Amino acid sequence: MTQNTIVGDLTSLGLTKNEAKAYHTLVKLGRSSARIIAEDSGVPRSKVYETLEILEKRGIIKKVTGTNPTEFDPAPVDAALDHLEEKVKGSVTSARKVLKGLQELRGTEAKEFAWASQGMEQVIMGMRTAIENAQDYVYIASASPSILGHLRGSFSNAKSRGVVIELFTITPGRLEIPGLEHYLEVKITSPRADVLTEGFSEIFKSPELSPDEWEPTRMLIMNIDGKESIGVFLPADDSSQPWSLHIRSRLVVLIQWQVVKTVLSSVEAIIQNRML
C-alpha cells in the first residue's frame, strides 16, 4: 500500500494530510525526532512541530521525556485508529442530529422521475440512499456483486428495520464479499454469463453499443419496494467510470434515453424469465 493510499485513509478519519504523513512515518520508523519525521514524511520543517503538537493533543503520539533533541513515539496502531474512529462516529452522530432536523424543517420537495449518476462515489451514494428509504424489500440481481461491499452499513440499518434484502447472483456473496450473508439472503439462481450474453445479442448488433463497452455480467439491478429501480453499469476496466440510472417506477417505462431504456428493460426481462 502506497503512502498516498494510507494518507488518504487517515484523512478520512479526521487527520490533515500533514498529520497523516507524520503519523505514518512514526509508525514506520518508531520513536523519532522532528527532523527525521520531516525528512521521511515530506512534512515541511516549518510545519512539523506544529503538526506533531496537534497529533499529541489528539492522543495518538507522545513526547518522549528526557530526549534531546525531543523525540516522539506513536501510540499502538489499534488503539490510535480506534480512538480516531470513535471521534469520527461522535461527529457523525452530532452532525446527523442537526442536519436531519434542518432537513425536516425544509419540508418535502418534488422528486425527479428519472436521473443518471456517474462515478463510483455517486453510484454508491445513490444505492445507499435508496436502501435507506426502503420500507419492505430490496431485491438485487447481478452477476458481479462485489460493489455491494460498500453498502454494508445501509444493509445493516435496513435489516434492523425489518426490510427483506435478497441478492440473486451466480456467485455466492461470501466468496466475493466475506460476511455479506449476514445482511441479506443470497440466492444462487441468476442466469449464467452465457445466457446474459445471448440475451443481449440483438442489442449488441446496434452500432451504439458493443459487448466491449457494456459487459452484461457487470450490470446490476436493484428494485426497492417496487417503487424505485436502479440500473448500475460497471466498466470492464479503468478507462471509463461506472454509472447508474434511477427510475421511480418499473424499469420498462418510456424514458428519454432510448438506448438506455432498451438495455435496462432487456436486463429485467432476462432476469425475470430466468429466475422466476
Measured CA to CA, the distance from residue 216 to residue 214 in angstroms comes to 6
Q: Does some domain include residue 31?
A: yes
Q: In this structure, are residues 138 and 223 in contact, taking their beta carbons and an 8 Å threshold?
A: yes
Retrieve residue 214's grid coordinates: 457494456
- Helical spans, DSSP H, in 134-206: 152-160, 173-176, 193-199
Cβ-proximal residues to 243 (8 Å cutoff; 6+ apart), any chain:
116, 117, 118, 119, 123, 232, 233
Among the candidates 56, 78, 100, a domain finishes at 78
Q: What is the pLDDT of residue 173?
A: 45
Tell me what the pLDDT averaged over the chain comes to: 78
Q: What is the pLDDT of residue 200?
A: 54
Q: Strand, helix or coil at 71?
A: strand
Q: Which helix (H) or strand (E) holds 64?
A: strand 61-64
DSSP state of 216: G
Retrieve residue 100's grid coordinates: 436531519
Number of other residues whose CB lies within 10 A of the CB of residue 194:
9
Which string of b and e fits 220-230 if b means at least 16 CB within 10 Å?
bbbbbeeebbb
Q: In this structure, are residues 246 and 117 in contact, taking their beta carbons and an 8 Å threshold?
A: yes
Confidence of residue 98 (pLDDT cuts 50, 70, 90): confident
What is the percentage of the chain residues whose pLDDT exceeds 90? 30
Residues 190 and 240 in one domain: yes
CATH number at residue 12: 1.10.10.10
Q: Which helix (H) or strand (E) holds 72?
A: strand 71-74
Q: Which helix (H) or strand (E) holds 231?
A: strand 228-233
Residues 144 and 209 in one domain: yes
Among the candidates 78, 98, 133, a domain finishes at 78
State phi, psi for 127 to the nearest 5 degrees: -65, -40
Q: What is the pLDDT of residue 260?
A: 46
Q: What is the pLDDT of residue 56?
A: 94
Residues 124 and 259 in one domain: yes
Range of the domain at 38: 3-78
Quote the number of domains for the chain: 2
- Mean predicted confidence (pLDDT) in 25-45: 94
Q: In this structure, are residues 23 and 48 in contact, taking their beta carbons and an 8 Å threshold?
A: no
Q: What is the pLDDT of residue 197?
A: 58
Q: Which of 166-175, 204-213, 250-259 shows the lowest mean pLDDT across its residues? A: 250-259
Residues 153 and 245 in one domain: yes
Residues 139 and 219 in one domain: yes
Residues 59 and 133 in one domain: no
Number of other residues whose CB lies within 10 A of the CB of residue 262:
16
CATH number at residue 149: 3.30.870.10
Residues 14 and 141 in one domain: no
Highest mean pLDDT among 114-118, 135-139, 219-223, 256-260: 135-139
Residues 124 and 261 in one domain: yes
Q: Does some domain include residue 95?
A: no
248 DSSP β-pair partners? none
Q: What is the pLDDT of residues 215-268, one digit of tens each?
A: 656 778 888 887 788 888 887 776 778 888 888 765 443 333 344 445 555 555
